[in-house]
């Protein structure tokens, strides 16, 4: 939790029996926060991670692809498995089913703004039905022994900002921590996140509150802790191609100088390791294909990187992509950034 007098953080936040040893955690992102991403972020200083969201309907039907989203390795702990749905009995059954995977927590998604999810009555549609969301939460809490957490939005639209009331209802239902993304469903990911909503939720409930939204730099992460008094800052898209943001945020938070942005050689080295992890976990074809969006992110911000990014998203095969990354690494090691980016 954050000390309001001096802004320091004491690593004493607990979610149930889980001790969270740092104030910066990895947000759940569909299609992004898979096992390789989670492991890299944990190694770089994320104190807890969340899985991609998984359908409760898919879980109760033993859908293999759905269950694959929730499998994890010991080095990813502490980890919360995120599920979504709109029926209390199905959400409870799904939670009981995945508790067999021995997660540290189970998270309820009440924030996804995707049209397909909302049409089913799940995700941020639940911000319009606090009674139903509380019923879902109570059913899941009753069904499992591990802590239950939830991720919510500010509300449905600007005329229904109800996150504090929703958070209180979730706390009353037995939820042990709530993450707040302070945009409405109507906003989607547009506009600005209103951090004052996070502070309002923090003032309303006694359980840990995690803040999310518009964290792009370590300075942003630290500012969220200071300005909202939230217990942890949840970093999402800013970690894509940039797992170092956790290490840099932790250093800044500890009062030490913020480390410099990783140089190109370091980015290429970790990108190659990330590629290997993807192929190991998902097989060559799928691993290489899904890695492409990460490769684009790893090279973002470097002058002239567009050509290398364009090459990497066209190259087929693990060995060929890795060879191009290693070629860039060797060239950048000679100090020739231009050749690393444009090819020899």
Residues 220 and 95 in one domain: yes
Check whether residue 18 and residue 54 sit in a common domain: yes
Q: What is the pLDDT of residues 146-187, one digit of tens each?
A: 999 999 999 999 889 999 999 999 999 999 999 999 999 888
Residue with the larger pLDDT of the pair 18 and 339: 18
- Domain extent for 338: 264-342
Same domain? For 246 and 99 the reply is yes
- Is there a contact between 51 and 70 (Cβ–Cβ < 8 Å)? yes
Classify residue 6: in a domain, yes or no.
no
Question: Considering the domain boundaries, does residue 258 fall inside one?
Answer: no
In the chain, the number of structural domains is 2
Looking at residue 2, the DSSP 8-state letter turns out to be B
Q: Is 144 exposed, middle or buried (0-12, 13-18, 19+ CB in 10 A)?
A: middle
Report pLDDT for 13: 85
Q: What is the pLDDT of residue 6?
A: 45
Instruction: Specify the CATH number for the domain of residue 94.
Output: 3.20.20.70
CATH number, domain of 271, equals 1.10.1200.80
pLDDT over 80 (residue 330): no
Q: How far apart, in whole angstroms, are the C-alpha atoms of residue 30 and residue 112?
A: 9
Report the pLDDT value the prediction gives residue 329, as an integer from 0 to 100.
66
Residue 41 a catalytic site member: no
pLDDT for the residue numbered 306: 76
What is the residue-averaged pLDDT of the chain?
Answer: 90
Please pick, among 53, 60, 108, 112, the residue that the annotation labels catalytic. Answer: 112
Give a yes or no: residue 303 inside a domain: yes
pLDDT at 258: 87
For the segment 294-312, the average pLDDT, to the nearest whole number, is 83
- The answer to whether residue 86 scores a pLDDT higher than 90 is yes
Name residues whose C-beta falls within 8 Å of residue 87's C-beta, 6 or more positions apart in sequence.
56, 136
What's the pLDDT band for 332 if we cut at 50, 70, 90? low
In contact, 9 and 253? CB cutoff 8 Å: yes
Same domain, 136 and 17: yes
Between CA 125 and CA 118 the distance in angstroms is 5
Is residue 328 over pLDDT 90?
no
- pLDDT above 90 (res 264): no
- Domain match, 95 and 217 both: yes
Instruction: Give the confidence band of 103 by pLDDT, cuts at 50, 70, 90.
Output: very high
Q: Which of 253, 274, 306 is the last residue of a domain?
A: 253
- Is 29 in the same domain as 102? yes
Asked if residue 45 belongs to a domain, the reply is yes
Residues 56 and 183 reside in one and the same domain: yes
Model confidence at 8: pLDDT above 90 = no
The pLDDT score that the predictor gives to residue 188 is: 80
Question: Is 29 in the same domain as 133?
Answer: yes
Q: pTM for the full model?
A: 0.90
Residue 323 and residue 209 share a domain: no
Indicate whether 1 belongs to any domain. no
């Amino acid at each position: 939790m954050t000390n309001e007098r001096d802004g320091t953080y004491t690593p004493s936040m607990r979610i149930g029996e889980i001790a969270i040893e740092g104030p910066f955690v990895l947000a759940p992102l569909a299609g992004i926060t898979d096992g390789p991403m989670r492991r890299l972020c944990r190694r770089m200083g994320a104190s807890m991670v969340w899985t991609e969201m998984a359908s409760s309907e898919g879980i109760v039907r033993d859908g293999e692809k759905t269950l694959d989203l929730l499998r994890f390795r010991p080095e990813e702990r502490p980890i919360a498995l995120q599920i979504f749905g709109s029926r209390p009995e199905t959400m409870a059954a799904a939670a009981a089913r995945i508790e067999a995977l021995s997660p540290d927590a189970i998270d309820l998604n009440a924030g996804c703004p995707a049209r397909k999810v909302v049409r089913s009555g799940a995700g941020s549609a639940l911000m319009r039905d606090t009674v139903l969301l509380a019923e879902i939460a109570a059913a899941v809490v009753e069904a499992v022994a591990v802590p239950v957490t939830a991720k919510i939005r500010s509300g449905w639209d600007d005329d229904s900002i109800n996150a504090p009331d929703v958070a209180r209802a979730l706390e009353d239902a037995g939820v042990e921590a709530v993450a707040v993304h302070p945009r409405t469903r109507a906003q989607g990911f547009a506009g600005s996140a209103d951090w004052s909503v996070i502070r309002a939720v923090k003032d309303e409930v006694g359980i840990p509150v995690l803040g999310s939204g518009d964290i792009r730099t370590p300075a942003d992460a630290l500012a969220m802790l200071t300005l909202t008094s939230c217990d942890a800052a949840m970093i999402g898209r800013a970690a894509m191609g940039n797992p170092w943001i956790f290490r840099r945020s932790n250093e800044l938070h500890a009062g030490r100088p913020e480390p410099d942005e990783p140089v190109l050689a370091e980015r290429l080295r970790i990108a190659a390791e990330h590629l290997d992890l993807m192929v190991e976990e998902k097989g060559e074809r799928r691993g290489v294909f899904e890695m492409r969006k990460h490769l684009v992110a790893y090279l973002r911000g470097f002058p002239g990187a567009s050509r290398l990014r364009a090459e990497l998203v066209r190259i087929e095969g693990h060995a060929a992509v890795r060879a191009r990354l290693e070629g860039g690494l060797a060239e950048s090691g000679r100090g020739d950034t231009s050749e690393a980016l444009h090819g020899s």
